[in-house]
Amino acid sequence: MNALKGFSAPVAAGVVLFGVWQGVLSLFNPEGFVLPAPSEIVGALIDNWDEVYHGARITGFVVVSGLVAGIILGIIAALLVTRFRTANETITPLAVAINAIPIIALAPIFNNWFGLTSPRSNQAIVVALVFFPIFINTTRGLTQVDRSQIELMESYAASRSRITREVRIPNAMPFFFTALKLATSLAVIAAIVAEYFGGRQDALGPMITQSAGLTRYDEAWAAVLAGTAIGAVLYFAVLVIERLAMPWHSLIRARIDEP
């Protein structure tokens, strides 16, 4: 019942938005390149379903594989940095420096490294973009631990790895999931923009640039819609995993929500 309540307001807002969009366009009837009506976009999506679906699978694979690799690398780096002081002193400043590079701007360069039509360069962009928020936030979560919880574990003569497992990792979970939600939308953006410059030509990115170049704006928007769907599905998946992984955390929400 509560879950339904949570959904009904944004769904209603969405319906109103699309209604106004459709209505305004049918009243003023501007050129198609300004903004196609929702009905035209849905029409283009249905007409080109096979192509768009295929493109979404290609792009979706780049996003998910890059996301998974970026998460794994980010977590490993965070654990290393927390465990070893020298690793911390080498990796962290380096990571901060690299993070200042606009990574997406490297897409054409990565194409030279990995080959113009290889999805590898797109994946590499996604990995690099996902890595930093995961690494930095997880490190924060692993290190910003209640001092008394560490002292308590030391008073029990707990080993270092035990302290990591019992205290640091659970403490880092909310930090990690906050970063992960940020990373999923970043990953979709990164994949599509990287695809503008190279990679497989049947992915969503080239579909958008080519359709727009041929003034088929409804088709370009249909591809954008597919990209949105990838982002939404991933975000929702993260929310579900978060709830499963941190049942105690939803309790906090439950408590605050109650009047």
DSSP string covering 3-36, please? HHHHHHHHHHHHHHHHHHHHHHHHHH---TTT--
- What is the rounded distance in angstroms from the CA atom of residue 19 to the CA atom of residue 23? 6
CA quadruple 56, 73, 78, 159: dihedral positive or negative? positive
CB closer to another protein out of 62 and 167: 167
Q: Site mask, another protein, residues 125-154, x = CB under 8 A? A: ---------------------x-xx-xx-x
CA quadruple 180, 184, 190, 191: dihedral positive or negative? positive
204 touches another protein by CB under 8 A: no
Helix, strand, coil content of the chain in percent (nearest 5): 85, 0, 15
Q: Which stretch binds another protein (CB under 8 A): 45-53, 59-67, 101-109, 249-257?
A: 249-257
Q: Please list every residue from 158 through 187 that binds another protein, using CB under 8 A.
A: 158, 162, 166-167, 170, 173
In the complex, minimum distance from the CB of residue 257 to another protein, in angstroms, rounded to a whole number? 13
Amino acid at 232: A
Q: Which stretch binds another protein (CB under 8 A): 83-91, 113-121, 231-239, 241-249?
A: 241-249
CB closer to another protein out of 42 and 150: 150
Instruction: Answer whether 124's CB lies under 8 Å from 190's CB.
Output: no
47 touches another protein by CB under 8 A: no
Amino acid at 8: S
- Using CB under 8 A as the criterion, which residues of the chain lie in contact with another protein when the complex forms? 146, 148-149, 151-152, 154-158, 162, 166-167, 170, 173, 246, 248-249, 251-252, 255
